[in-house]
Amino acid sequence: MGHLISPRGATLIGFCAVLLWGTLATLTTLKGGGIPPFQSTAITFAVGGATIAGYAIASGRASAMIPTRVSFLLGIYGLFVFHALYFAALKFAPPAEASLIASLWALLTVLLSGLLPGMRLNLRQVAGAVMGFSAAAILVWDKIGLSSGYPDATLGFVFAFSCALVWATYSVASRMIAAVPSESVAPACFATALLAFACNAAFENWIAPSAAQWIAMVLLGLGPIGAAFMLWDIGMKHGNVAFLGVLGYVSPIISTGLLITLGLAAPSWTLLVSVALIIIAARLAAPRRGA
C-alpha cells in the first residue's frame, strides 16, 4: 500500500493519526475512572488490532498483516513499552508535568529524523518543533506545580522522558523497515493487548466496565488506539518524518478544544495562544517542495 502513496499523501495520512489522537483525552474522559490502566489498554488494543485486521481482510490484504521478526519486536517496543512507561510516569509524577515531558516525543522525532539515510534536518524544522513544544507547555501551564504528594516525582519524570524517547525512536526506526506493510501493525496490537492482560492479572484487579465504558473503549480502539497506529506507520514509513513530528503537537490542542467544546473543560486564553504558536510552527516546518 505504502509504495502506491506519494510522500505528500503519506504525510497527510500520518497527520490523520494526529487528528485521531486529538480525541484521546475526550474519549478517556467519557470512559471515566474505575477501569485500571492495563485493563483499558488490553481492551482497546484488542479492538485496535481487530480494526486493522478487519481492514486488511476486507481490502484483500490479509497477507500484509504478516510481520517480520524485526517489525513485530519494534511494534511491541513502541506500543506496549511506551504505554507501560507512561502509566508508570503518571503513577509517580504529577500528571500535567508527566504528560508535558512525554510530549517531547514529537520534538525528539524531529531531531532523530536527521539521522535517517538521505534526510537532512534544517533549522526551520527544529524551530517549528521547539515552538510546538512551547504550545503544549502553555496548554498545561496553569496546572504545573499545583499537584503535591508525589515524593518520587523525579522517578516519574524519568519514566515520562523514557516513554517520549521510546515513541520517537519507534517512529523514526519505522522508516528503516518501510518495505514492511503497515497492516503488520495488527499483530503488534494483539501482542500488546495480551501483555496488558497479563499485567492486569499480575498488578491490577479486573473491573467489569459499564455499558458507557465499553462504548468509550471500543471507540478508543477503533480510532486513536487502532486505526491511528496504522496511519502513523504509513506516515513514518513514506511521508515527511520531521514535518509530522512538528504536527504531532496539534494533538494536545485538538484535545483541549474538544474538551472545551463538549463542556468537559473550561475555556482558556492559553488555547488561543497555543493555536497561534502551532500554526506558526507548522508554517516554519512545512516542506518547501515535494513531500
pLDDT of residue 290: 46
Q: Are 11 and 239 in contact (CB under 8 A)?
A: yes
The model's pLDDT over 105-145, given as tens digits with 9 standing for 90+, comes to 999 999 999 989 888 888 899 999 999 999 999 988 877 76
Q: Is 250 within 8 Å of 43 (Cβ atoms)? A: no
Q: Distances from the Cα of 231 to the Cαs of 13, 19, 213, 236, 276, in angstroms?
A: 6, 11, 25, 9, 26
Given this model, what pLDDT does residue 139 score? 83
pTM of the full structure? 0.91
pLDDT at 291: 44
Banded model confidence at residue 217, pLDDT cuts 50, 70, 90? very high
- Average pLDDT over all residues of the chain: 91
Angstrom distance (rounded) from CA 275 to CA 174: 29
pLDDT per residue over 222-233, tens digit each? Answer: 999 889 999 999
Q: Is the pLDDT at 289 greater than 70, yes or no?
A: no
